[in-house]
Structure 1
Amino acid sequence: MNATDKFYLSVDGIPETFKSCNGHHQLRITRPVMQNITHSPMHQHRSSSSSKVSNISKAGMGIIKTVRGRWRQEKRGVACRSSSTGSRHSSSDRHLTRSVDLLELGLTKPKNCQRIVVLGAPKVGKTNILQRFLGRDFEERYEPTAEDFHRKLYHIGGEAYQVDLLDAARERNFPAKRRLSILTGDIFLLVFSVDNKESFKEVCELRDDIRAAKTKLMKLKDTSRVPIVICGNKVDLGAQRVVSRLEAREILGEDAAFFETSAKECTGLEGMFRALAALSGLPDQTSPLQHQTISLLAYQALCTGQRGRRGSRTPGLGAPCAAVDPLARRPSFTSDLQMVLGSSTKHKSEKCQIQ
């Protein structure tokens, strides 16, 4: 291999070299270095290859400039990238540093804060139903749940409301953790897929477990008082259906809050969301179609009586609105356990219910 061939290999490897650097800036290749190469003794000895070396050096510098430009773009855009779960943050929410808890801030009443616990077998559409509730689009490709906690804040009729959504899918194989999630829930959404009979059986078992746990914790005499909404999802599949509406009604009972839905086609969801609101004592306007979505900063300004940032659209006090908290994280299991123990003490329970 002659000297010219070696030089071609080193320049052609520049893109791969930059890729291996993975965005680090320690590698610096400047124009003077390239100029020194072109004026090396080898270049003086082989005048016939001078044009090739000059062209290669220009090409190399072009690659370097392109990569540097990409670095600058990535640095500027890192704050507004969406997460892998598909959540979309308002550009004005990029400057938030912590999540918002209305109860801790003294901006609402305890009865206006509700936690909805979502349970069901894998691949039944729980995540997409939650995405619809948050005002987001349907995701066609299935991915195991990564983000299991969401918080939506409302301002309706001059009052602030907070709804926490806990998808307990990842606790399916951890009975103690799942039981803790059940005990801390205020209302429950159980989801099965109409093309999967096993998922329906699991929902029936979950309903019995929830009723047993909550009635024991709250000292209830009537198990039907536990607020549970059951959702038969994926009715758009049609021919693949194996659980009929009649069969589900016969097993669940006529009094059950049962809805057939399609998260993909967005059918049946409005009635289900309204039932969740009714059972949890929240206004009907908490349903996604009944309010306007604003940024979290605009919501905070609305609740505190301050003027929003310039350019933000803040509705009047009479217009129902809501904001999704992009920084909300699931409370620790320690704090959930303290909540349950406090509730147990309040109702004079003899022992902890996490068993």
Structure 2
Amino acid sequence: MNTTEKLYLPVDGIFEMFNSFTGHHQPVLQRTALIPVLQHPSVSNISKTGMGIIKTVQGRLRQPDKSVVVSRSSSSGNLPVSIDRLSKRSVDPLEMALINPKNCHRIVVLGAPKVGKSNVLRRFLGREFEEHYEPTIEDFHRKLFHIEGEAYQVDLLDAARERGFPAKRRLTILTGDIFLLVFSLDDSDSFREVCDLLNEIKSAKAKLVKLKKPARVSVVICGNKADLDAQRAVSRSEVTGILGEDVPFFETSAKDGTGLEDMFQALATLGGLPGETSPSRHQIMSILTYQSLCIGRRGRRGNRTTKLSAPCAAVDPLARRPSFTSDLRLVLGSSTQNNKPEKCQIQ
């Protein structure tokens, strides 16, 4: 009776072997899992090439594992960081009771392509202007603040990928607390798109809470590229004439910083955030330093023992956008009344 034998091949050995064949020498993440390869006894005539591969893999299996490092860019340069150390960098502040859920906010950034959304976000994160344009598929950032003894979490979502998917965009809108709508002052079409987005946001929020008229939402309008004054196609009077005086509007330049401070201050005010969340009013530090300072100043039961001397913040380099399933559950939960879930209007 035929039996089946199992030959276990290490994943890292296979990758390293084929890298040696192709001439590519890239770091391979260490893996302890083994891949079972079924070998039927009837297939006994293995070619010389196949035997060579098996011997090579077996040889790799006998060799001691090498320490693995990866390069990660940072403001201070490219430094080798171990996988074990890197995996411990992202710590959920909510799970560690460092942040009150009411201090967690999501800013959704919407607008036409090539209007400078990514560079506006870069400025908020404390980074420099990027001259080279690359289309944004989706950009999610998380910035953690410690201000006057309180911890805050601000998630920033540049929903560029959802521009052609109305249902996904509607779901993102429903999960947003604050909205930043960006258009370019040298592109009148981008301004008309912002007007449409503003109406869509009001309509979506009204349906969520079942209002008969558009809901009042926390929205800031940003007319970017103010440095290109000679190419201006949208005037301030045109913007205020269409949107009215109630919607905060700022002419900005992500390139030279014009108007950004006032715009970020307006976002904080509308979202109920401290004014110190504005980039010029806090110190930026690494995520490891931030975590050590925050955790080190709490008692065993999670109570704060002392306050940080000055407002500080850090960008979580490993933060990832919550899944659409998580967002949908959040929206459905927020629309529940009398313990009866309501239908979520995302179409």
Fold-level similarity (TM above 0.5): yes
Q: Name the CA shift for 1:111/1:20 in 2 (closer, same or farther; >3 Å).
A: same
* Aligned-residue offset at 1:80: 2.7
Identity across aligned pairs (percent)?
A: 67
Q: Name the CA shift for 1:321/1:261 in 2 (closer, same or farther; >3 Å).
A: same
* Aligned-residue offset at 1:202: 0.4
* Paired residues of 1:103 and 1:113 also in contact (CA < 8 A): no
Residue 326 of structure 1 aligns to which amino acid in structure 2? Answer: P
Q: Find the residue that maps to 1:271 and give its secondary structure.
A: helix
Tell me what 1:257 maps to. Answer: 248
C-alpha separation between the residues in 1 aligned to 2:82 and 2:150? Answer: 22
Residue 252 of structure 2 aligns to which amino acid in structure 1? Answer: T
Q: Name the CA shift for 1:351/1:181 in 2 (closer, same or farther; >3 Å).
A: same
* Aligned-residue offset at 1:305: 2.0
Tell me what 2:287 maps to. Answer: 296
Aligned residues: 280
* Paired residues of 2:148 and 2:311 also in contact (CA < 8 A): yes
- Verify: 1:232 aligned to 2:223, yes or no: yes
* Aligned-residue offset at 1:330: 0.5
Tell me what 1:170 maps to. Answer: 161
Residue 354 of structure 1 aligns to which amino acid in structure 2? Answer: I
Q: Deviations over 1:286-329 (max 9, x none)?
A: 0000000011111111221269xxxxxxx971300000000001
* Structure index of larger Rg: 1
* Aligned-residue offset at 1:103: 2.4
Structure with more of its chain in helix, by fraction: 1
* Aligned-residue offset at 1:24: 6.3
* Paired residues of 2:162 and 2:169 also in contact (CA < 8 A): yes
- Verify: 1:139 aligned to 2:141, yes or no: no
**Greater relative contact order structure (CA < 8 Å, 6+ sep):** 1
- Verify: 1:114 aligned to 2:105, yes or no: yes
* Aligned-residue offset at 1:100: 3.2
Quick check: 257-266 or 214-223, which moved more? 214-223
User: Which sections of structure 1, spanning at least 5 residues, go unmatched?
Assistant: 1-17, 26-74, 308-314
* Aligned-residue offset at 1:102: 2.3
Q: Find the residue that maps to 1:239 and give its secondary structure.
A: helix
Q: Name the CA shift for 1:106/1:221 in 2 (closer, same or farther; >3 Å).
A: farther
Q: Find the residue that maps to 2:154 and give its secondary structure.
A: strand
Report the TM-score when normalising by structure 2. 0.74
Quick check: 344-353 or 141-150, which moved more? 344-353
Tell me what 2:343 maps to. Answer: 351
* Paired residues of 1:217 and 1:349 also in contact (CA < 8 A): no
Q: State how 1:1-355 maps to structure 2 within 5 Å.
A: 21-23=23-25, 78-81=70-73, 95-97=85-87, 99-219=90-210, 223=214, 225-305=216-296, 317-346=308-337, 350-355=342-347
C-alpha separation between the residues in 2 aligned to 1:91 and 1:164? Answer: 28
C-alpha separation between the residues in 2 aligned to 1:291 and 1:93? Answer: 30
Q: Find the residue that maps to 1:236 and give its secondary structure.
A: coil
Q: Name the CA shift for 1:255/1:265 in 2 (closer, same or farther; >3 Å).
A: same
Q: What is the RMSD computed on CA atoms of the aligned residues?
A: 3.0
C-alpha separation between the residues in 1 aligned to 2:106 and 2:147? Answer: 18
Residue 242 of structure 1 aligns to which amino acid in structure 2? Answer: A
C-alpha separation between the residues in 2 aligned to 1:214 and 1:159? Answer: 29
C-alpha separation between the residues in 2 aligned to 1:334 and 1:175? Answer: 16
* Aligned-residue offset at 1:78: 3.1
Q: Find the residue that maps to 1:264 and give its secondary structure.
A: coil
* Paired residues of 2:71 and 2:78 also in contact (CA < 8 A): no
Q: Name the CA shift for 1:142/1:19 in 2 (closer, same or farther; >3 Å).
A: farther
Q: Find the residue that maps to 1:79 and give its secondary structure.
A: strand
C-alpha separation between the residues in 2 aligned to 1:133 and 1:269? Answer: 9
